[in-house]
Amino acid sequence: MAKKKRTPKRRNSVLQVSTGASASSVGLPAGAFFLFGGLCLLMLGWGIWLIFGWLHTVLFTENDRFLLERVEARTDGVLTEEILQEWSGINMGANLYDLDLSALRNRVESHAIVRKALIRRDLPNGIEIAVNERVPIARMGRVEGRLNWLLDKDGVLIQKSFQSKHLPFLVGVRQNVTLGESVADSPAVHALACIEDLRVMPSKMRELLRVHVISVGHPDYLDLRTRDGFQILLPRVDDYEQLLSRASRAVFDINQRNDSNRLINLTPDGRNVIVGPK
């Protein structure tokens, strides 16, 4: 009887055992590594921020080298250095890097006469203030010649004054405005444009057109009265240079002829415009 051939048992290799063991082990999720890395970066950034904050304090805000000892203020108008320093609220001895320059600028610009202010540090111990002022070109009020508002070319009410009676007086402008507000959104905008254009014209023309009063009450034209008694009607336009040039020539011709006529009508309707009393 033949013997059965025994089949040898197959043994797993060391490599197969190792691979199987590795596959069965439980690893960390991939998101955990990103979370851990993010926390590390956050802590690093926070540490850097603390270091820079400490350096800023030591080198700047607590450094006696940057204590304020002088304030230099200049303007293109009438405000004095003392007034500008008072309006800024700057205290001598303060640290330059503790001062909020934007807040100081806003404080100075809150005054109606200031159009724009620039404030900067002049290291190591100074502050410089530069101011561009609003220039009054006209006045308005309930009664001409008394306490009147002074207005700049933008129609902003700068201040009240008994002086400046040489400036043109605007009639027919709304009165429910206060300091710092503007009347540029009213019919006065054309009168202000006319006055501003006249200010930059040659002196001979300005002398012929010495404006005393401008009435803005009519919707179609400006009623301009000069100190020499002329009444000039001007249409409402954006540019008055040519119209004022024509008006100055007309005034010159009338004076040369010794004409008693004192009305110069430059509106498109010409003589058909009904003119009110002087």
* pTM of the predicted model as reported, rounded to 2 decimal places: 0.73
Q: What is the mean pLDDT of residues 182-197?
A: 94
Check whether domain 64-133 has CATH 3.10.20.310, yes or no:
yes
Res. 2: pLDDT tops 80: no
Interval 223-278: pLDDT, tens: 999 999 999 999 999 899 999 999 999 999 999 999 999 999 999 876 544 444 43
CB atoms within 10 A of CB 182: 17
pLDDT for position 269: 78
Domain ranges of the chain: 64-133, 138-268
pLDDT (0 to 100) of residue 273: 43
**Residue 134 has what DSSP assignment?**
-
User: 38-83, pLDDT tens digit by residue?
Assistant: 777 777 777 777 665 555 554 556 667 778 999 999 999 999 999 9
Q: Which of 265, 163, 248 is nearest to 197 (CA)?
A: 248
**211-215 and 221-226 as β-strands: parallel, antiparallel, unpaired?**
antiparallel
Please tell me whether residue 273 adopts helix, strand or coil conformation: coil
Q: Where are the beta strands (DSSP E) in 22-125?
A: 70-75, 114-122
Grouping H, G, I as helix, E, B as strand and the rest as coil, residue 56 is helix
Taking 50 as the threshold, does the pLDDT of residue 186 lie above it? yes
Closest CA to 83 of 100, 102, 101, 107: 107
**Residues present in the chain in total:** 278
What's the mean pLDDT in 206-220?
95
Instruction: Determine the number of helices (DSSP H) and then strands (DSSP E) in the chain.
Output: 7, 11
Identify the CA nearest to 107 among candidates 97, 98, 117, 99.
Answer: 117
**Contact call for residues 177 and 188 (beta carbons, < 8 A):** no
Cβ atoms of 63 and 57 within 8 Å: the answer is no
Q: What is the pLDDT of residue 103?
A: 95
**Of residues 199, 203, 227, the one with CA closest to residue 214:** 227
The CATH class for the domain spanning 138-268 reads: alpha beta
Residue 54, number of CB atoms within 10 A of its CB: 10
pLDDT number for residue 91: 87
- Is the per-residue pLDDT at 15 higher than 50? no
Report whether pLDDT(24) > 70: no
DSSP of 169-227, one letter per residue? EEES------TT-B-TTSTHHHHHHHHHHHHTS-HHHHHHT-EEEEE--SSSEEEEEET
Q: What is the mean pLDDT of residues 8-14?
A: 52
**241 closest CA partner among 187, 189, 188, 205:** 205
pLDDT above 60: residue 4: no
Rounded Cα gap, residues 223 and 25, in angstroms:
98
Helix boundaries (H) for 89-145: 101-109
Q: DSSP letter at 156?
A: B
| Residues contacting residue 143 through CB under 8 Å, at least 6 positions apart | none
What are 114-170's pLDDT values in tens digits?
Answer: 999 999 999 889 999 999 999 999 999 988 878 899 999 999 999 999 888 999 999
What is the reported pLDDT for 169?
96
